[in-house]
Each structure stands twice: as C-alpha cells, then as structure tokens.
A and B are shown apart, each in its own frame.
Chain A
Amino acid sequence: MVTKLIILLVIVLGIIAAAQLMRLYELSSKMRKTGEHDITNRDNRLNAGLMLTFMIALFLGFIWLMLKYGWTGRGEAASVHGHELDWLLNVNYVIVLAVFFLTNFLLFWFAFKYVKKPGVPAFYFPHDNKLEMVWTVIPAIVLAVIIIFGLRSWNNVTAAAADDAIIVELFSKQFDWTARYSGEDNKLGKFDYKLTEDAKNELALMTTESIQMAIDSMESGVKGISKLELQLNDRTIMLTPEDRAAKTKDLGNKEKLIRLLYQMKMKHNSSLDAQAWDDFIVRDTLYLCKDQPYEFNFRSKDVLHSAFFPHFRAQMNTVPGTTTRFKFTPDLTTADMRISRGVEDFDYVLYCNKICGGSHYKMKMIIVVLEKEAYDKWAALKMNGRKAADGSWDAEPATFGHTFHKVAEEAPVEDTPEDEQESTSEELDALVPEGDKV
C-alpha cells in the first residue's frame, strides 16, 4: 500500500516538475525572441542527420539479427515438402529483402538529402506517366513470379496423400493431443462424438458395442436419464433452483441425444467394427517413421485448436464437427536432428497454435521420428498379440482401458495411460541408437 502511494506521489511530482520546466523553457525562449514553433535550419539539419543515422542503425540491426539467428531465423526443415518450402521462403526472402533495403534506403536518403536549404526551391514535379508505369509494371512482374512459384508449392503440399501413406488421427482437446493410428488395415474406425465415454472411449469410436455402451450409460449410468428423472421427481431431495434448472436442461439434452443414439444403432453397419478394433492410441508421444508418407486427420473435441509442427513446416486447424487433413513425410529422424543440431535432448514437438483456453501454451505432444527398423518394431509392439486366431482383436485394448467387443464377458482392463507410456518409452530406449540416448 505504502509503495503504491509513493509511486503515485512520484508520478504526480514528476508531472508538476515537467510543467514547471516547460514554463521556464518557454520564458527563456521568449526572452531569446525565437518563435518556439518556427522550424529552424538547425532543426532541419539535426533531423535530417538523424534520419540517416536511424536508417543505418535499422539496417545494421537487421543484419545483426540475421547473423545471430540465421538468415531466415529458422532451423533446418525435417520433412520432404519442408525443404521445398524453405527454398520458396529463400526466394521470397531475397526479393522482399531487396525491396526492403532499396525502398527504405531511398526514403531515408531523400529525407536526408533534400532537407530544406535556404534559397533552394523545391522542384515542381506533379506527375510523370512513364515513371508511374514503370513502378506499376515491375512489381506486377515480380509478383507474377512469386505467385507462380508459390502456387506450385501450394498445390504440391495440398495434393492428396500418396496411396501408401499411413493414416493417423490427431485428436485435440483442451489441453492435450491424442493420436490414433489406423492399425493393420490402415483405415480409421468411424466415430461420433455422442459415443464419448471419458475413461473408456474417449475418442468416441463407433462399434456395435460402443453404441450399446453409450446408450446404457446415458439411460442408466450415474448421470443417466433415469437417475436424473429420479432426482427431479423425488420430493425428499432438496434441490436449489439453479440445480434444478441445470438438471432439467441436462435431462432435455440427454433425451435428445438418446434418440439420436437409437437412430445410430439402427443404422450401424457392424461389418465396419473391425476398422476400429485394430486402431491403436498413443498419448504424449507421436512416433513416426522416416521417409514414410503420413496423412494426418485432425479432430477436435471442444474448441478450435491448430496442429502446428514447426520443424516439419506443417500446420492445420482442428475444427469441432469437421475432419481436416494434412500430409507430410518426415525425412530426418530425431537422432539425425540431435546430431545435426548438436543438442542431445532435442525433440520434435507438435504445438497447439490456435488460442484455445488458459493452458493453450502447454498443449503439446512430443514427436519422435525413427528409422524404419525401429519404427516397425514399435508398431509391432503396439499390435503384438492383439489378434486372436479367429481374427478378432483382444489382447490389448483397442482404445484406452476398454475392449469393445468383449464388454459382456470381461471386466474392462484398467490400463492407465501412464503405465503404457512408461513401458513404451523403455522399449523405445532400446531402439534409439546407443550414442543418442539421453
């Protein structure tokens, strides 16, 4: 409190002091009989000099930044199209830098050179069609070049993924990422957000069992319809008006949703269930294989997020209600990058790049790019022994903590994500080349 008062006091005193100084200054200049607002030759020369000085400082500052942080200020790209985009950036950068230096130079140089000199009148020069033509046409030509190169890359980057691309889903929510690999068939199982069950089916995969499970829990689960009705109708339970309103609203929503779930059940084609069964899910770390094309499908559970892979020069928003896609092929392994950067614990990262809430900045996932051999081992590990002789999948949960097609027979395996993470990273340690271990 006292400090606040002192701060305020200092500010007030400062203002008073400044005002007094101004008055003194004005009085003295009145005595010197200089009109305070006439711009003198001295003023002009001073500012002209400063213009030139500033230009030099600006250019030197820029050059210093480029020397210190690298020409475009970014590290090496780690994907096939990334190299192409960096080339494109370099081309653009050269053009843009040329314009930046040239036009700023002309501006500040003229400001310096043509400062008022007593007795030298300005040159009356209202227009010149030829000149204006020149600086319309030249930018147009340069821009045409930029557009042509730019669109060529844009078309490459946004073209459909190669046939052998592995499909991986990246699922975003406040505030983390989950990856779902499409498994043996390279097809992602269908999903519908209404099937979301936090612990058991967080990605809302659609199978005959998951639909039934969702219906059951919506009808008779702890927060199900029958419980809600009971609470709302039981006179012995005291509810605050807000509570009652919230519960009524919740009930209304659930009644609407349950109808949709029944419709879904009717329409569901169980022959597609297998597409979901072989999918496997990882959290925290996304494993990719070097030189392997990937097609990422993006989903969001709640608000907009954006999957931003700065090292791979890739980005795509994730949009609730829609699936978006982006493809790329990593071409430098994590180990390669650690060596080339000389940083032992470097990791690729997937960031969230669309404001999504308070912890937006923490929403990231580590990416590990492996050589093919190591990657295959890891993928086999994830799939290993999960397929029974009859072709059904069971040994390991298809989605976190739950095996859909065995609902009736077994209690769900309580497999915590942390455990799973631990074991994979241990296994993985064995895969990363000796010298690069952290």
Chain B
Amino acid sequence: MAAVAHDAHGHDDHGHHEESFVSKYIFSQDHKMISKQFLMTAVFMGVVAMLLSILFRIQLAWPGESSDFLSFFLGDQWAPGGVLSEDMYLGLVTIHGTIMVFFLLTGGLSGTFSNLLIPYQIGARDMASGFLNMLSYWFFFISSGLMFVSLFIETGPAMAGWTIYPPLSALPQAISGSGLGMTLWLASMTIFIASSLIGSLNYIVTVLNLRTKGMHMTRLPLTIWTFFVTAILGVLSFPVLLSAALLLMMDRLAGTSFFLSDIIVQGEMLTNHGGSPILYQHLFWFLGHPEVYIVLLPALGLSSEVISTNSRKPIFGYRAMIGSILAIGFLSFIVWAHHMFVTGMNPFLGSVFVFTTLLIAIPSAVKVFNYITTLWKGSIIFTPAMLFAIGLVSTFITGGVTGIILADAALDITTHDTYFVVAHFHVVMGLSAVFGMFAGVYHWFPKMYGKMMNKKLGYIHFWITIVGAYGVFFPMHFVGLAGAPRRYYDYTVLGENDIDSFNQIMDLNVIITVFAIMAALGQLIFLFNFFYSIFRGPKTVQNPWKSTTLEWTTPIEHIHGNWPGELPTVHRWPYDYSKPGSDVDFIPQTVPLAPGEEEH
C-alpha cells in the first residue's frame, strides 16, 4: 500500500515529507529504517547472549572456582561466593540458546536483511505493507524486551533448555525457572512468533507482487530467493510452535493434560493423565527443524551474493542453486523426528526419518560444490565480507558432515544429546549463520549507513573470529564422542568413575573456554568498528563493491521510495561479472542486453 501511495504522488515532492523524529526513527514504516532497527536490536541481544555463554563457559572450564567476573554479573543469588549456581547454569544455557537461535539469527538476520534487500533488490519502493512491517519490528522489540527482562526476576529465567521440553517446563515444582521465568519465555515467544508471521507474510507478498519491470523470478538475486523460501518456511512452521506454546500454557495455567501424564513431582501427586510429553516434541520439531533452515538460508543467500561479487564471477549453477534452496525448504518439513530417535518412537518410523534426513545432504552438497566452483578461476577480492562468506562455506561443510553421522539413527543412539550434537549445530547453523550475518553487515553497511567500515579492523575481526570459532567448536566433537552429555553443570562427576573420559573432557573444556573468551573479545573489535563507522566512518561511494544488483543504483542518502525517478527496469540476471565481450567486469541488471548478447 505504501509503495502504491508513493508511486501516486510522484517523487519530486520528497522534500515535502516533513517527518517528525518519532515517525522517522521510532515508528518508521520505511524498510531501510526498520532494517536498521532490527540490526541494532539484534546486536544488543547478540551481545547479551554471548556474555551469557562466557559466564557458563567459565564454570565448565573451572568448575566450582570462585570468580569475580561471575559475582559481578550474577550477584549473590545466582553466584553465591562467585560460583555459578546449578539452576542459573541451566538458566544461562537456556536463554543463550533462545536468544541466539530466535532473536539474533531468526529475527535479527531475516529482519535486517529481508527488510533491507527485498525492496532494494527487486526494485520496489518499499514493502507491500509498511505498517505491518513496523508492527513486525515492534513485536520483535517487545518480545526481545520480555526475554531480556526474564533474566532479572526473582525465580530466574526459563531453565528447561531452548527446546523447553515439558514436563520440566510445565512444572514450577521441578525447577525454579519453570515459574514466572517460563511464563515470560512463552509470552515472549508468542509475540515473537506474531512478529515473524507478520514479517514473513509481508516478505512473501512483496516478492511476489512488487518486482519491478523485467525482474522475473529467474532474474532474482539468490538473496531474494532465500528470503522468499525462508518466509514461506516461517509461515508454515511457526504456527505449529505457537500451538505448542499455547497448549503448554494451558497445561501450566488451566490444568489441562496435553503433555502431562502420571506425574509425581516433589512429593505432589498430579492428577494429569493421558497426555504425552512426546507430542510436544513432535510439535516443537515440526517448527524446530525448518527453523534451522530459516536461520541458515538467508545466510547462504547473503554469501552467494558476496562470493559472486568478490570473485568477479557469476555464481555457479544459478538454477541449481534455486533448485537446492527449494529442495532444502521442502525436505526440511519431513525430517523433524531425527531429533527424537531415542524417545522410544517406532523404529520403522525412525527408518523413514533417517532416509529423508540423509536426502537433505544432497542439495546441501550441491550448494557447497557450486560455491567452490564459483571461486575457481575467479579474481578474488578479499573484502571483510568475502572472508566471512568463505568462512561460512567452510563451517557449512564441517558442520554438515557431522549431520550425516547424527542422521544415522543407530549412531545417534550414542551421540544424541551429547556435545557432539552441540558441536554439530553450532558449526553448521550457529557459525554459518553468524558468518553470513557478518558478511551481510560488512557488505551492505555502506548501503545502510552511507559510510564505510574500516577494512583492517574487519580483517582482524574475521581472523580472530574464525580461529576462535573453530577452536571452540572443533574440540567439542571429541568431548561429545568421549560421552559428555550436554547441559551438565559440572563434568567432574564423570571423573569419579571414568577417569579417561573425564581427562579428555576436562582438558578440552579448558581449551574451549579459552578460545571462547578470545572470540568474544574479538567481537569487541567488530562492535567498535561498527559504531565508530556509523558516526565517523569515511563516506562511501555509490557502488563500492562494483556490484550488479539494483540496490547499488539508489542514491547513497536514503530517500523515501528508494529511487528518485522512475523505478529501474531489469534486463538481465544479477550475475554478469566478467562477461566476455564486455570491457568492464560487471554489468548492472539495469543495462539492456547488447544486440546479439545472450542472457547467460
């Protein structure tokens, strides 16, 4: 609607839009501002979640040792004498996971880049509905606030792990975090889901309806394809999580028995009968697995763009890439029970999920090989964004291959819920998505803020981050294979009976924590570079990376409606880099085909 309105009243009158501070910076309906709002909120949440992880890593490396750092942040209630309490350990782990998965890598990543790039790269004046877009951000903001606040309440935040399996999450008697903390968690996530649904619908409609002239679906940059498929996944899967959350709320507040049966907790005999905690897991993972791709796909999209631009080569196998994105999107809906191989489910059903899960590896492999081939015989320019995009491909490979072991139900028996799983999903999802996000920030920072970030700091940031990241998560495979269960507060309990595994686990835990602290400090460099450049960075030129896509044809200063005059017309796909017969090494999408030139 907003876009139509802009079209209607022409564009020479932009100066007349006298906007108040509130409508420009706070309740903005402009996709560029909303994108920046998402990014800022995500940066804040990401910093919080990273700090939480350092707090519990200290406990894991030096269990029971008193630390001023812990008492500084957690105080006497949760770190009496500077030693993290058992309950709060689980609280930190839970909120860390929740924030990272949902707030940083779902809301933050999709929110920032879908908003920024969808209108820009398809040649639209704004999102289909500016108002819904604004609503989506403010719901996200409120839910972030609730989740953050839940860290500070008397009974502590939710403590049942980011997957909040009942009965633990349903019974305040079972752990203190399942009281008010869990209520806040559920409330926050409900609002978050609303935000995500509104956002996703908007993205889908925008991509389908507002593409500029000549922008066929087969001329969309891969970024847009990934945002589009991600939004579809979100719309189809988040409602299922919503239903799980609502049913869980009913069990907690209204005495229903959806997930509860035959329970005695803290001496209290409950009357619930007939429900199944396993039902919750089916509902959760029906979202949960697509969710991991909701996190990953946008990162893959961003890095496709960055890799192609900075190799000065078309992305290899554009159509195969689209096919893989669609295949991954589809398959991600029929693999969820691979998280539940040892819940006692029917073994035949297990076999089916082994099969579908391993199928996903095929489109994933295609993507990896296509990335690698894009680099082959390229003319690579190492911008900080390019470094992160290459890092993403590496972590996607490294984490993807361990997925193959986990997908083998027979092997999952011995690795499920161990640190091997923690290593797998941090590498394949956590690192890949974070690297994708950094690539996106470095690459599109000039578009967002009209300034350049400092490249040297970017290089230092990348190398510290990738060394730290592999240093943290690579050894974790060996911690898991030694038999370390995840979500343990203290691994010295293993030492009493099995000293070999214990030694292996504890040695590595110290190494991991040291790398984690190093990586966290490395992020300070990024934060500094980011904020410093917003205010004092050198001014950018219009198309700093010599890129072909439409966003670089807009003026540096943000204006309402994005393009001052007519909307651009698209004549070619977005990957005409180093095309033979052209004397420049990139041809923007707006340049008409030369006589006799083939599209690609």
Q: CA A217 – CA B577 in complex, angstroms?
A: 82
B590 within 8 A of A: no
B64 within 8 A of A: no
Residues of A within 8 A of B578 (CB): 121-124
Q: CA A343 – CA B496 in complex, angstroms?
A: 12
**Contact between chains at A85 and B350 (CB < 8 Å):** no
**Contact between chains at B313 and A123 (CB < 8 Å):** yes
Q: Which of B13-21, B28-36, B39-47, B532-540 contacts A (4 or more CB under 8 A)?
A: B532-540
A382 within 8 A of B: no
Q: CA A18 – CA B526 in complex, angstroms?
A: 12
B351 within 8 A of A: yes
**Contact between chains at B408 and A146 (CB < 8 Å):** yes
Report which of B165, B475, B498, B577 forms a contact with A304, defined as CB distance below 8 A.
B165
Sample of 15 further A-B pairs with CB below 8 A, known A4-B72, A96-B401, A100-B397: A92-B411, A104-B398, A107-B375, A116-B381, A126-B575, A139-B365, A147-B355, A151-B354, A154-B350, A303-B168, A303-B174, A314-B413, A316-B344, A320-B261, A321-B262
Q: CA A85 – CA B261 in complex, angstroms?
A: 34
Please tell me the size bucket of the interface on A. 35 or more
Residues of A within 8 A of B397 (CB): 99-100, 103-104, 107
Residues of A within 8 A of B87 (CB): 358
Residues of A within 8 A of B86 (CB): 358-359, 361
Q: CA A362 – CA B493 in complex, angstroms?
A: 7
Write the chain B residue with the least CB distance to A110: B375
Known: A44-B381, A157-B413, A322-B276. A302 touches B358 (CB 8 A): no
Q: Which of A345-353, A405-413, A417-425, A427-435 contacts B (4 or more CB under 8 A)?
A: A345-353
B504 within 8 A of A: yes
Residues of B within 8 A of A22 (CB): 454, 532, 536
Q: Mark B221-263, 1 if CB is under 8 A from A, else 0.
A: 0000000000000000000000000000000000000001111
Residues of B within 8 A of A61 (CB): 470, 474
Residues of B within 8 A of A107 (CB): 371-372, 375, 390, 393-394, 397
Report which of B264, B270, B417 forms a contact with A306, defined as CB distance below 8 A.
B417
Q: Mark B354-371, 1 if CB is under 8 A from A, else 0.
A: 110011011001101111
**Contact between chains at A106 and B372 (CB < 8 Å):** yes
Interface residues in B, total, Cβ within 8 A: 134
Report which of B271, B350, B368, B536 forms a contact with A256, defined as CB distance below 8 A.
B271
**Contact between chains at A198 and B366 (CB < 8 Å):** no
Q: What are 19 inter-chain pairs, A to B, with CB distance below 8 A?
A: A23-B536, A36-B538, A37-B544, A46-B382, A58-B474, A69-B482, A75-B482, A95-B404, A103-B397, A124-B313, A125-B316, A125-B376, A143-B359, A257-B271, A308-B483, A349-B497, A351-B485, A353-B418, A361-B487
Q: Chain A's nearest CB lies how many Å from the CB of B435?
A: 13
Q: Mark B414-429, 1 if CB is under 8 A from A, else 0.
A: 1011100000000000
Q: Which of A129-137, A237-245, A286-294 contacts B (4 or more CB under 8 A)?
A: A129-137
B61 within 8 A of A: no
**Contact between chains at B261 and A366 (CB < 8 Å):** no
Write the chain A residue with the least CB distance to B370: A132
Q: Which of A48-56, A263-271, A386-394 contacts B (4 or more CB under 8 A)?
A: A48-56
Report which of A103, A143, A352 forms a contact with B361, defined as CB distance below 8 A.
A143
Interface residues of A in 314-338 (CB under 8 A from B): 314-317, 319-322, 324-325
Q: CA A139 – CA B504 in complex, angstroms?
A: 33
Report which of B351, B372, B377 forms a contact with A123, defined as CB distance below 8 A.
B377
Q: CA A301 – CA B366 in complex, angstroms?
A: 47
Q: Chain A's nearest CB lies how many Å from the CB of B70?
A: 13
Residues of B within 8 A of A236 (CB): none
Report which of A26, A196, A319, A322 forms a contact with B538, defined as CB distance below 8 A.
A26
**Contact between chains at B362 and A116 (CB < 8 Å):** no
Q: Chain A's nearest CB lies how many Å from the CB of B570?
A: 17
Q: CA A321 – CA B350 in complex, angstroms?
A: 21
Among B174, B418, B498, B536, the one with the most A-chain Cβ atoms within 10 Å of its Cβ is B498
Residues of B within 8 A of A358 (CB): 85-87, 90, 159, 175, 489
A19 within 8 A of B: yes
Binding site for B on A (CB under 8 A): 3-4, 7, 15, 18-19, 22-23, 26, 36-37, 39, 43-44, 46-48, 50-51, 54, 57-58, 61-62, 65, 69, 72-75, 85, 88-89, 92-93, 95-96, 99-100, 103-104, 106-108, 110-111, 114-117, 120-128, 131-132, 135-136, 139-140, 143, 146-147, 150-151, 153-155, 157-159, 174, 192-194, 196, 198, 253, 256-257, 298, 301-304, 306, 308, 310-311, 313-317, 319-322, 324-325, 341, 343, 345-349, 351-362, 364, 366
**Contact between chains at A110 and B376 (CB < 8 Å):** yes
Q: Mark B294-330, 1 if CB is under 8 A from A, else 0.
A: 0000000000000000011110111110000000000
Q: CA A159 – CA B261 in complex, angstroms?
A: 27
B167 within 8 A of A: yes
Known: A114-B378, A349-B497. A355 touches B316 (CB 8 A): no
Q: Chain A's nearest CB lies how many Å from the CB of B524?
A: 9
**Contact between chains at A88 and B410 (CB < 8 Å):** yes
Write the chain B residue with the least CB distance to A202: B264
Q: CA A23 – CA B490 in complex, angstroms?
A: 46
Residues of A within 8 A of B408 (CB): 88, 92, 146, 150, 154
**Contact between chains at A154 and B354 (CB < 8 Å):** yes
Residues of B within 8 A of A116 (CB): 312, 379-381
Known: A4-B72, A306-B417. A122 touches B481 (CB 8 A): no
**Contact between chains at A302 and B90 (CB < 8 Å):** no
Residues of A within 8 A of B379 (CB): 114, 116-117, 120-122
Q: Chain B's nearest CB lies how many Å from the CB of A278?
A: 24
Residues of B within 8 A of A69 (CB): 478, 482, 504
**Contact between chains at B375 and A125 (CB < 8 Å):** no
Known: A131-B373, A147-B358, A316-B342. A355 touches B264 (CB 8 A): no
**Contact between chains at A115 and B504 (CB < 8 Å):** no
Residues of B within 8 A of A366 (CB): 497
Interface residues of B in 152-191 (CB under 8 A from A): 159-161, 165-168, 171, 174-175
Q: Chain B's nearest CB lies how many Å from the CB of A112?
A: 9
Report which of B68, B375, B405, B410 forms a contact with A96, defined as CB distance below 8 A.
B405
